[in-house]
Amino acid sequence: MGTYQVKARSSVPLFAASVFSSVSYLGIGEEPTASLKIGDLNGDGKVNLVDFSIILAHWGTSYEPDDLNGDGKVDLPDLSIMLAHWTG
């Protein structure tokens, strides 16, 4: 048995898909208390190459979950923040 974190988005043919929702807990019992790390974009407790590839996938967009400094775009300052919290 495990616990899972999920994100959702809607997609309608011929229309643009929505942005992903915030992370929700899915499991049995109490919601786990995880210490979120800055730059941990996939929520696995580490800031590593997986998070790096996620930020690159949204590079130049305004994708809010990857906009670590909140300036409305995913760019070099966000990557710098991620690298400052790198765990490998």
Among residues 3, 5, 75, 71, the alpha carbon closest in space to that of 36 is found at 5
Q: Rounded CA gap, 40 and 43, in Å?
A: 5
| Token pair for 3 | 């616990």
> Interior CA angle at 42 toward 36 and 47, to 5°?
65
pLDDT at 61: 95
Q: What is the pLDDT of residue 75?
A: 96
* pTM of the complete model beyond 0.95: no
Where is average pLDDT lowest: 8-17, 21-30, 73-82? 21-30
In angstroms, the CA 54 to CA 62 distance is: 13
At 40-59, the pLDDT tens digits run: 998 888 899 999 999 999 99
